[in-house]
Amino acid sequence: MATKVTRNRAKGSQRGYYRRALDEAERIEFEEASEVEGLDEEIALLRLKLRELVERQPDRIDMHLEAANIIARLVKTKYQISQEQKKSLKEAITKVLTEVAIPLGVGIATKVKH
C-alpha cells in the first residue's frame, strides 16, 4: 500500500509531466483545473455548449445527440455508486432505523431486508 507521501509525489510528478508542455498561462489554468473535484462544472459547461450548438447548428442532430450522450454518461458517472457503497448505505439506514427511529416510536411502513 502506497504511503500518502508516495501518492503525493506520484501526483506531483504526473502534474510535472504535463506541465512541461504548457506555457506559463496554461500552467496556472492547469493548477486551477487540478483543484476541481467532481463533474458538476463539466456537466454545466457541456450543457451550455449543447445549447449553443443547437442555436448555431440546429440541423446537426448527430452532434446534438452525441453531446447529449456525453452529458448523460457524465451524470450517470456522477451518481453511480459501487455495490459496496450501496451495501454500506443500506446497513447505515438499517442501523438508524433499528437504533433510533423505532425506539423513538417512529412508524416504519416498509420492511427492511438484510
Tens of pLDDT, residue by residue over 16-40, are: 788 889 999 998 998 888 888 888 9
Q: What is the pLDDT of residues 53-112, one digit of tens each?
A: 999 999 999 999 999 999 999 988 888 877 788 888 888 888 877 777 666 665 555 555
pTM (2 d.p.): 0.54
CB 30 within 8 Å of CB 18: yes
* Spatial distance between the Cα atoms of 82 and 100, rounded to a whole number of angstroms: 26
Distances (CA, A) of 102 to 71, 94, 99, 109: 41, 10, 7, 11
What are phi and psi for residue 68, nearest 5 degrees? -65, -40
